[in-house]
Homo-oligomer: A and B are copies of this chain.
Amino acid sequence: MFYGKIYVTLKKGVLDPQGSTVQRSLHALGYSNVAEVRIGKFMEVKLDSSSREEAARQLDEMCRRLLANPVIEDYTFEVTEV
């Protein structure tokens, strides 16, 4: 069994209204030293696979096909055996 950690973030230059909202809330709570907030998705995927390479290949494919929007998002992932 393998365990994938996937990080999906907005590409640089893509507006992040959610991040701006959180930043304003942090400023309102007194954290005026917060310069920027960007919000992304963190996904944990457990999958059965013949090898770590095969698990990584499948995770990459899952990101390209479903989990990340290639137009506005970047993704990275890590795979460990559990």
Residues of chain B with a CB closer than 8 A to A15's CB: none
Q: A38-B44, A41-B39, A47-B35 are in contact. Are A62 and B26 (CB under 8 A)?
A: yes
Q: Does A34 contact B (CB under 8 A)?
A: yes
Q: A22-B67, A62-B31, A67-B22 are in contact. Are A40 and B43 (CB under 8 A)?
A: yes
Query: Which residues of A, 26-81, contact B by the 8 Å Cβ criterion?
Result: 26, 29, 31, 33-49, 58, 62, 65-67
Task: Let me know if B58 and A31 touch, CB within 8 A.
Answer: yes
Partner-B contacts on A (CB < 8 A)? 1, 7-9, 19, 22, 25-26, 29, 31, 33-49, 58, 62, 65-67
13 contacts between A and B (CB under 8 A): A9-B42, A31-B47, A31-B58, A33-B58, A34-B62, A35-B47, A36-B45, A37-B45, A38-B43, A39-B41, A39-B43, A40-B41, A40-B43
